[in-house]
Amino acid sequence: SGAQVLLIHEGKKGADGQPQIILATQRYGQGRSAAFTADTTYLWYLPLRGMGQDSPYNRFWGQLIRWLANSDVRNRDRGPGLEALLNKNVFQLGESVRIRAMVRDDKGDATRYAQVSLDVAKADGSGSKHLNLAPSETRTGMYDVTIDAPDKGEYALTMTASKDGKELGRQTLKFSVITPADEMLKLAANPELLKSIANSTNGFYYELPQLGTLVSELVRTTAGDTGLKQQTVPLHSFVRATAAMTVGDPGWPKKYDLPLQGMLAVLLLGSEWFLRRRWQLP
């Protein structure tokens, strides 16, 4: 009875004849509760994701969870503020740097109507730049900006947020841009190094104009050069199959397979008779 109904389905009636409830919230003790009765919401995400558009899926659940966690009340207790974020502190030369900020107004609520600016400068004071952060479409109060491929060095950032001429917060961040590893610094081929590796490993080195020569040599290579040989062994001939698995192809004509198997059977039976007589077995 104390719940607040936020969403209903006009086309579906409940047992009481009233529209069925989709979303309702209610305070419970010191916390909050919510009931959501619709089908799985991942279907909201898939079609728009395929078209490269933002989906209400992330916004709905993100805002609902933050509301249930009383994050809005805690933010009001904290008052106005600015929280700047870097995705990391060390970047490779050529990487872009993304900077985000969460802004609260003087009531402590997340706001998308603030003016957020960023001053970027190297540690030595050179290369200063002034940038403005744009509000994010997916989360209220979030602002972001991207610095495209800054030069090598140490950087200091000063971010400021204001609204209606009143400063809400200020924060300073630092990050570094370093050169990549040596093997990534020069991506072009190194002929001298390749020749040295080929000589050390008994291999071959070909220039690009020699590609035709390389293909011709690969085509002329026969199966015998690889040391591989295909052999067919009849499994019904136990003697030939055993010889092939142990010492290789025996090489005798196939007409000897049956007599050899007969001799093997006589040898085994004779050995069994001899052992039984020797050990006086029944």
pLDDT at 203 over 70: yes
Q: What token pair was written down for 184?
A: 């990534």
Is residue 224 over pLDDT 60?
no
pLDDT band at 184 (very low <50, low <70, confident <90, very high): low
Burial of 75 (C-beta count, 10 Å sphere; 0-12/13-18/19+): buried
Evaluate whether 107 touches 117 at the Cβ level (below 8 Å).
Answer: no
The model's pLDDT over 74-88, given as tens digits with 9 standing for 90+, comes to: 666 677 889 898 888
**pLDDT (mean) for 137-153:** 88
Average pLDDT over residues 44-72: 76
Residue 72 has pLDDT above 90, yes or no: no
Lowest mean pLDDT among 82-91, 190-199, 215-224: 215-224
Mean pLDDT of 198-203: 89
SS3 of residue 96 by DSSP: coil
Beta bridge mates, 175? 155
State the pLDDT at residue 159.
94
**pLDDT for residue 258 is more than 60:** yes
pLDDT at 278 over 80: yes
Task: Please report the pLDDT score of residue 161 as a whole number.
Answer: 94
Residue entry with tokens 């009636």? 13
pTM here is 0.44
Residue 54 is predicted with a pLDDT of 67
Q: Which of 33-37, 118-122, 131-135, 205-209 has the lowest mean pLDDT?
A: 205-209
- Per-residue pLDDT at 222: 56
Strands 90-92 and 166-178: parallel
Pair 173, 84: CB distance under 8 Å? yes
Structure confidence by residue, pLDDT tens digits, 84-120: 988 888 998 888 999 999 998 888 888 889 999 999 9
Neighbour-count burial for 191-200, b at 16+ CB within 10 Å, e otherwise: eeeeeeeeee
Q: Nearest to residue 105, comparing CAs of 64, 138, 76?
A: 76
Q: Indicate the helix (H) or strand (E) that contains 91.
A: strand 90-92
State pLDDT tens for residues 148-169.
Answer: 988 889 999 999 999 988 999 9
pLDDT at 117: 94
Q: Which residue has the higher pLDDT, 126 or 101?
A: 101
